[in-house]
Amino acid sequence: MAPNNSLPVFKKIYIDRCSENSEVAARVRSLYPVEIIEVVESGFLASQRGPMTAEEFNLSKQTLLLTEFKGQFFKRCPGATQKKTLTCCNYHVLNLGSQCNMNCSYCYLQSYLNTKMSLIYTNIDQALEELKAMINEFPNHPFRVGTGEIIDSLSLDEITLYSRKLIEFFKPYPKWVLEFKTKSNKVDQFIDIPGADNITVSWSINPPYIIDREEHGTARFHERIEAAKKCRDQGYKLAFHIDPMIYHPEWKENYGFLVDEITSTFTPEEVQIISIGTLRYQPEQRHMMRDRFGVQSLVVGAEMFPSEGNKLRYDATLRGEMLSFVFKRLKSKSEKWNAFFCMETPETWISAIEKVPMQVPELKDMFKPLPVVGT
């Protein structure tokens, strides 16, 4: 269980009084120098809320607060709440913290977060109780639960070790699928636990050309592939999210390489799903990105237009071409690769593969409506 490389860097770590005796607080004290740790009274978090400047957003990645979450942990993926405009899978999220210690230029957290520090929620037991109640109510519904929506599932996991608790929790419920979604290569902290068919470790992945330019502080391409191999070898299911695809003149060559690497390293049986999406972001995010990464970034300098659902996206025809290219390349390797488009409109599905998900037998189950919980 030794960490596979250096610990996440924080300049300051606050511990909310209510989390002082938590397991995570004890672990933080054992891993970080005492000089950077300070216990704060309840109410501290409220004082850290508000809109952030680019500078404050940068700083929020270097400051950590351990606290308890007071709301509902289990929620539907934001895409699923836009069913009128988007065709979305039944993804649910379990938020065990917020903010990310990596720094992708396109990250949607730039327009989403309003807390001037990274958060780790220490009351995971409460989250598991909430989940347990849901599972008892719907034990046979195929819920997919991800922990990587507003925080990377694994990049801070050496601190929390939540992966270990979650894996053991989900194993007895084979219909419910747990997904860790990451851009890190931090898997050593749980790799001694044998995998199961309902535990998926997934990588959000881009070609090396894009990772090097736009995904700062993340694991490099081959580091992610190596980590995926370790998980595969231990019996975990895998998933890849080729998302967001970023347009650049050599996009076909680079995304072709990416697909070839995945399909030559893994088999369709080892990889449960591959989701594909193109760059998209809320219009208000563009100012923060311009400030933080400059117009030379392929993301900031991209040609983006308002689309259904109000997000900025590439031209619809180009988007269809990009999605279709990756989809067809995957299928050319084997029809068994299970791929779908993330947060896309029915029109784009039709322009890319001439079908909507409910007409694709292997995707039907994933897109079939589930009971609405955690809106």
Partner 1 sequence: MNIEQFLLKAKELGFSATVEPWIEAKKVKGADLAFLSPLKTDLQWQLLFKALMQLIEARTSYTDSLKNLELISDLILMGHEETLFEQSHDFAKWSVHLRALRYPATTKRDDQLKDKLEKLPWPYGSKTKFERRGDRAGIELKMFITSEADLIKAISSLERVKDQIGAE
Per CB under 8 A, residues contacting partner 1 are 54, 286-287, 290-291, 294-296, 301, 303, 305-307, 313-319
CB of 254 to partner 1, least distance (A): 17
CB of 247 to partner 1, least distance (A): 8
CA atoms of 229 and 223, how far apart (whole Å)? 10
Strand 118-121: give its sheet, edge to edge.
Answer: 37-40, 12-16, 63-67, 118-121, 97-98
Compute the Cα dihedral for 319, 322, 328, 331 and give only its sign. negative
**Would you say 238 or 302 has its CB closer to partner 1?**
302
Assigned token pair, 4: 């596979």
**Would you say 46 or 84 has its CB closer to partner 1?**
84
Assigned token pair, 88: 């979305």
Return the DSSP state at 115. Answer: B
Preceding omega of 207 cis (within 30 degrees of 0): no
- For residue 276, list its beta bridge partners: 242, 341
CB of 330 to partner 1, least distance (A): 24
| Contact assessment for residue 41 and residue 17, using Cβ atoms and an 8 Å cutoff | yes
**Would you say 174 or 294 has its CB closer to partner 1?**
294
**Would you say 306 or 371 has its CB closer to partner 1?**
306
CB of 312 to partner 1, least distance (A): 8
Cα–chain center distance at 195:
20
**Would you say 251 or 266 has its CB closer to partner 1?**
251
CB of 266 to partner 1, least distance (A): 33
